[in-house]
Amino acid sequence: MELLSENKRAAIWSVLLLFVGLFVWEMSISAQAINTGELTEYELLTGAGTAKAGVPPPSEVAVKAWQELSNPFYDAGPNDKGIGIQIGYSIYRVLTGYFLAAIIAIPLGFLIGMSSVAYKALNPFIQVLRPISPLAWMPLALFIIQDSEASAIFVIFICSIWPMLLNTAFGVAGVREDWVNVARTHELGAFKTAFTVVLPAAAPTIVTGMRISIGIAWLVIVAAEMLVGGTGIGYYVWNEWNNLDLTSVIFSILMIGVVGMLLDAAFGLLQRRVAYVE
């Protein structure tokens, strides 16, 4: 007997797990007792009487989140900007680097997918460049570009280009011969064939590559911004760590997760739109 649908039961379990998790977190922290006994002068001087800086309980994080999210776009100087502004900077960098990568990777992927000579000629370069950690480019980028903002964008560019390039090439090379023959028997030109047959046929694979890329780009931007500093969610995390404000650190970690999820969901939606069943 099934009283509730699968989705509803799963949702109940999710909520339950959340509350159990938060409860355990809250309890384990309030259990850390503060030394309230008789203290010597030396102990008072070294701060033994005050609470040790510890991991904040979820209730504090929730209060912090409420404060930050109710006024996300305030700007009170270089080290005090709203979470909305910081995330905005990060998203701007990610999208700029990402779309620059897409503009190059997708046409180049088409070429590699269509021509086995181009594939064989470019493959050694791709294989060497692809495994390089994007952050390893940072010193070189900073030296050549001489601008931290542009260097962060370059790092995003270089890390998101590979999945898009390889997936586009793979998708284009895998387009069924029959479909290309349909285009040929209908006397479609090269451009018409590319746009009306090859592109829709390869679109699911291409969008999968784009989805992987945006995920990687969002992972990398946090690390890149920790290095370049100034603005962005990565910088914010590191800055709050320097302030020893762990509540803000936990809050911003959660925000990174939520934004990453939304970016992925957007591409998931696109993926469903271009999907087809053979």
Partner 1 sequence: MANSFLSIEKLTQRYPDGKGGEFTVFENASFGIEKGEFVCILGHSGCGKSTIMNILAGLSEPTKGVVKMDGFAVSGPSLDRGVVFQNYSLLPWLTALKNVTFGVAARFPDWTKQQVEDHSIAFLDKVGLSGDAIHRKPSQLSGGMRQRVSIARAFANEPKLLLLDEPFGALDALTRGTIQEELLKVWSGTDQTVFMITHDIDEAILLADRILLMTNGPLARVAESVEITISRPRVRTDIVEHPNYYAIRNHLVQFLGKRSAELAGQVSAEGETHSPETVRIDKTQDAAGEQPLLQAVKT
Question: Which residues of the chain form contacts with partner 1 (CB under 8 A)?
Answer: 178-179, 181-182, 184-188, 196-197, 200-201, 203, 274, 276-278
| Smallest separation, CB 177 to partner 1 (Å) | 9
Closest CB to partner 1 among 155 and 207?
207
CA separation for the pair 79, 86 (Å, rounded): 11
| Smallest separation, CB 186 to partner 1 (Å) | 4
Closest CB to partner 1 among 134 and 209?
209
| Smallest separation, CB 193 to partner 1 (Å) | 11
| Nearby residues of 38 by Cβ (< 8 Å), 6 or more positions away | none
Closest CB to partner 1 among 200 and 257?
200
Closest CB to partner 1 among 141 and 203?
203
| Smallest separation, CB 198 to partner 1 (Å) | 11
Nearest partner of 155 among 219, 199, 198, judged by Cα = 219
Closest CB to partner 1 among 95 and 114?
114
224: tokens are: 């890149």
Closest CB to partner 1 among 115 and 196?
196
| Smallest separation, CB 278 to partner 1 (Å) | 5
- CB distance 57 to 29 below 8 Å: yes
- 152-190 b/e (C-beta count within 10 Å ≥ 16 → b): bbbbbbbbbbbbbbbbbbbbbbebeeeeeeebeeeebee
| Smallest separation, CB 144 to partner 1 (Å) | 43
Closest CB to partner 1 among 135 and 182?
182
| Smallest separation, CB 192 to partner 1 (Å) | 8
